[in-house]
Structure 1
Amino acid sequence: MDACNALIVDDEADIRELIEMTLLPLGVTCHPAADLGEAYALLKNHAFGFCITDLRLPDGSGLELVAHIQRHYPNLPVAVITAHGNVESAVEALKLGAFDFVSKPFELAVLRNMVATALRLSRSEDHLDANRPILLGHAAVMENVRQMIAKLARSQAPILISGESGTGKEMAARLIHWSGPRADKPFVPVNCGAIPEHLMESEFFGYKKGSFTGATQDKGGLFQAAQGGTLFLDEVADLPISMQVKLLRAIQERAVRPVGAQTEVATDVRLLSATHKSLAELVKQGAFRQDLFYRLNVIDLRMPSLREHPQDIPELVEAILARLSRQSGLQAPKLAPKLAPTALAALAAYAFPGNIRELENILERAFTLCEDGVIQAGELLLPGEPTSIRPNPEPSPPRTPAPAAPERHEPPRGEFEPRTVPILQPPSGNLEGYLEEIERTAILRALESTRYNKTAAAEKLGISFRALRYRLKKLGLE
């Protein structure tokens, strides 16, 4: 395939000429076609690195050409030209396999960036990082995910990655980025639930000097930081309605307006998003905009729960323990702890409501407790089992009689109770670390007692869900 040849399909000669002049600085040789018949003939006789087609053609629709190329030339990226505001046709083209779309009247810089990105597809293998993470697991559901990621990496369509907490949604997003033509550009992840609402606009779009108190200089936002690369919106369901409106415009216009600016700034960003909630249900409840949902959910990638591929647990365990060993300075893989058969059987029988992230937490705890190189079942401390972490025992009765206290209801054994966190004398000079350890203990107990339901855990702790997400990130527990 010659990456410097492009097939341009449009019945307007001046549009074909404009596109040819725009792509000339990229070293692209354009082959024009006025209709589907000419396009099919050129495809038979030439090898192309890219195709761009109008949707309205004299003898049919550009969608027919997209489908034809997907069937017969699956490695050829094809973009479509749509009428301004015709979002439905653009989304349909992306679902059929189109690489990207551009609306009339199109900005020449936008068109040039799109084609440059497409031409990098043939060279994307050169940018693959040999040290990048690998999606583990050989169950059928994981093989399907791998194949889907490889296919999605060749497109610029917005992807909504769904799945329970801890299933590896950010890992999937990173692999889509690293496997595609933007691999050498930034990957910018953002937790939508961790940004205070009043800061969202400036965080996403940036701001100009003097636009508000404290804005002492211009600052780019997340869209500018991801320029040329990928912006990953994790927990996108947590975006407030006011921000959803602004995000929708940024996606449609491919431009953002920094706070305090008079003009918009063009952006070239691929958008990936993820959530463990049902956006469709939130749309019904009026908590999420339907038009934004359709723009984000062009293609859905579902990450399976660990319960759907328990046969991969031994492979995951081996990889996690090897990583923990490296982090502890044990470079030789043979020095990594092993699981006793009873411990592996206990993991296989456990439901893992927290999925792979919970497995990592369980193994990290067991790794710390293990002393002889073999992790026993009792060292896993699985929630709900007799060996689970329990609140500290009640303190011994005072030696001197105390006044009778009013009778109060005691929580059932095993239920989280903040008062059971011990208050000891902190080590000298490390009060902050001591307080963080108390906070970490309280949060972990709340999560375990609610089977890693973060909403319920936040209620038990008496804090908001957003505050819990912030503390999890701060303490490295996400």
Structure 2
Amino acid sequence: MEEHSNPLKLTEFTDSILESISDGVFTVDNQWRISFFNRAAEGITGIPRNEALGKRCSEVFKSSMCEADCALRQTLNNTTPIINKSCYIINAEGERIPVSVSTAVLKNSEGQVIGGAETFRDLSEVEALRNALKGRSQVGGFVSHSPLMRNLFELLPAVSASSSNVLIQGETGTGKELLARAVHDMGPRADKPFIAINCGALPDNLLESELFGYKKGAFTGATQDKPGRFALAEGGTLFLDEIGEISPALQVRLLRVLQEHSYEPLGAVKSEQSDVRIIAATHKDLAAMVANGEFRQDLYYRIHVVDLKLPPLRSRKEDIPLLVDQFVRNFNRLQNREVSGVSPEAISFLLDHDWPGNVRELENVIERAFVLCPNGQIGPGYLPSELGAKAMPKDQPEAIGSARQLAEKQSIQESLKRNRFNRAATARELGIHKTTLYRKMKSLQIPFPKQNGRNR
């Protein structure tokens, strides 16, 4: 007992503990000069201990908090510890290192403040993982954490690298043109034109001239040659939106272009060659239209070489907060505003909506809220009445989270179905541990199937 009470022995014992931990630790005196600097601090900063000792901490760390928001200074001023505050430091190589810091006051045996202590943890690997996950969750204009969209994202590199025609199917407002642009931008034709036309927006005769162009004198008012969309897209991509709307006669002409890679502008006497990749899109069920004789089977097979299906927003509600953040940033930039975001209560209403208009409808709702909300945070009162955005009852605080729980329950149930109720595969798809899945299923009252699909 006497041996352990020896101050020198106790100091050596404490120092050996501080040397063995993986977090950086340093202490400063009342003049902000470093009095202790452990081995992990050397490793994270790249600064030898003998160079750090005696220097002011701001000279060593060059942190983002050193100037006006020093965590250690706040602790010494109000004696309140700070836990896991994020910032960055500059190491000996001039690299920016993300860290989380915690601080405490140092006192002597008489209770007098003699300095401060700070621990800092290197978050470089965490930051790298976050960036990697962010990269996987964003393709072109799409952001998503949904397993359904992740499967689609994994197909895009191979689809983009090919020259095959693509058919994108999805409900109105799911972002079919955004997906088409992503396929174009990721492929070898990225430096060539991307030309889009909505086939359902024009009558047949105008659509034909828009697609193939015309020569001077082809009809009354044709005073000069006009190139069509095929000519404008030469070497690049032509996006035919709502292809299910074109007439049988125009289907025949389009089929010939896809078969022979040539076309004739209106009034022309010879054909023009075409090197264009076709990406078509529709919200209709083309296979059913083929069966009913409304769409040519041979044309369907020509455009249906690669089939990409965009899921509706109601099937990936976990993406709503991510999409809302993206829209808020975009509208802040475009309108020079400072709306901080959307309140949790408003998010719960957004999660509870079925979104028949999909992502386009969500974007319109957020834009409307921007018009009504002067600044600050968008609350339920700025949402349309059809979303049921009324004041939350004060005696029912649990209602705030009910929509989130509903969305989470739906996501788990759909993943279970996709994985034939194999819970291990479902946990992997959702990115959670199997025991976490069990706990969530129990709390959300999702019944456990009699056969879990493990051996299927």
Give the TM-score, by structure 1 length: 0.52
1:373 aligns with 2:370: no
Q: Report if aligned partners of 2:242, 2:282 keep a CA contact under 8 Å in 1.
A: yes
Q: Note if 1:323 corresponds to 2:330.
A: yes
Spell out, residue by residue over 1:6-38, the C-alpha distance to the aligned partner (whole angstroms, 9 max, x if none): xxxxxxxxxxxxxxxxxxxxxxxxxxxxxxxxx
- Counterpart position of 1:142: 149
Identify the match of residue 303 of structure 1 among 310, 315, 336. 310
Establish whether residue 236 from structure 1 lines up as the match of residue 239 from structure 2.
Answer: no
Q: Kindly indicate whether the alpha-carbon contact (under 8 Å) linking 2:237 and 2:276 is maintained by their aligned counterparts in 1.
A: yes
Aligned-pair identity (%) = 47
DSSP 3-state at the match of 1:312: helix
**Structure 1 SS opposite 2:266:** coil
Indicate the residue corresponding to 1:353 in structure 2.
356
Q: What does residue 342 of structure 1 align with? A: 345
Equivalences for 1:67-466 in 2 at 5 Å? 133-330=140-337, 335-383=338-386, 385=388
Give the distance between the partners of 1:382 and 1:144, measured in 2 at CA.
Answer: 35
| Deviation of the 1:278 alpha carbon | 0.3
1:188 partner SS: strand
Counterparts of 1:217 and 1:203, CA distance in 2: 14
Partners of 2:162 and 2:174 in 1: CA distance:
23
Q: CA deviation at 1:170?
A: 0.5
1:127-177: CA deviations, max 9, x gaps? Answer: xxxx99432011111111111122100111111000111111100100000
Distance 1:328 1:270, change over 3 A: same
* TM-score normalised over the length of structure 2: 0.54
Return the offset for 1:382.
Answer: 4.6
Q: Deviations over 1:381-403 (max 9, x none)?
A: 15263769xxxxxxxxxxxxxxx
CA RMSD in angstroms comes to 1.8
Counterpart CA distance in 2 for 1:187 and 1:249 is 22
Range moving further from structure 2, 354-363 or 138-147: 138-147
Asked if structure 2 preserves the Cα contact closer than 8 Å seen for 1:163 and 1:305, the reply is yes
Q: 1:160 corresponds to which letter in structure 2?
A: L
Is contact 2:166–2:280 with CA below 8 Å preserved after alignment? yes
C-alpha distance in 2 between matches for 1:383 and 1:358: 12
Superposed displacement of residue 282, structure 1: 1.0
Deviation at 1:200, TM superposition (A): 2.1
| Whole-angstrom CA distance in 2 between matches of 1:371 and 1:200 | 43
Equivalent AA in structure 1 for residue 350 of structure 2: L
Deviation digits for residues 29-68 of structure 1 (CA, Å, limit 9, x no counterpart): xxxxxxxxxxxxxxxxxxxxxxxxxxxxxxxxxxxxxxxx
Matched to 1:214, the amino acid is: G
In structure 2, the partner of 1:127 is none
1:382 and 1:359, CA in 2 relative to 1: closer, same or farther beyond 3 A? Answer: farther
1:272 CA drift (Å)? 0.2
Please give the alpha-carbon distance, in whole angstroms, between the structure 1 residues aligned to 2:385 and 2:287: 34
Alpha-carbon distance in 1 for matches of 2:236, 2:267: 25
Name the counterpart of 1:472: none
Residues 381 and 390, structure 2, Cα contact 8 Å, conserved in 1: yes
Closer, same or farther in 2 for the Cα pair 1:382/1:152, shift >3 Å?
A: farther
Aligned partners of 2:375 and 2:339: how far apart in 1?
A: 11
Deviation of the 1:372 alpha carbon? 4.2
Q: 1:387 to 1:365 in 2, by over 3 A?
A: farther
Higher-strand-fraction structure: 2
User: Could you tell which deviates more after superposition, 366-375 or 257-266?
Assistant: 366-375
Distance in 1 (CA, whole Å) between partners of 2:223 and 2:390 is 55
Residues of 2 paired with 1:353 and 1:309: CA distance? 13
- Residue identity in the other structure for 1:294: Y
- Secondary structure of 1:142 counterpart: helix
Give the Cα–Cα distance (whole angstroms) in 2 for the partners of residues 299 and 211 of structure 1.
36
CA–CA distance in 2 between the matches of 1:352 and 1:220? 39
Q: Distance in 1 between matches of 2:271 and 2:312?
A: 41
Gap change, CA 1:186 and 1:382, over 3 Å in 2: farther
- Provide the rounded CA distance (Å) in 1 between the counterparts of 2:340 and 2:144: 20
CA contact (8 A) 1:366 1:380 kept: yes
Counterpart CA distance in 1 for 2:387 and 2:191 is: 45
- Between the aligned partners of 2:190 and 2:267, the Cα distance in structure 1 is 32
Q: Distance in 2 between matches of 1:325 and 1:167?
A: 23
Q: Distance in 2 between matches of 1:175 and 1:382?
A: 35
Displacement of 1:281 in angstroms is 1.0
CA apart distance, 1:376: 1.1
What amino acid is the match of 1:159? V
Question: Compared with structure 1, are the counterparts of its residues 177 and 190 closer, same or farther at alpha carbon in structure 2 (3 Å cutoff)?
Answer: same
Q: Is the 8 A contact 2:343 2:379 kept in 1?
A: yes
Task: Give, in angstroms, the shift of residue 378 of structure 1.
Answer: 2.2
SS of the residue corresponding to residue 160 of structure 1 reads strand
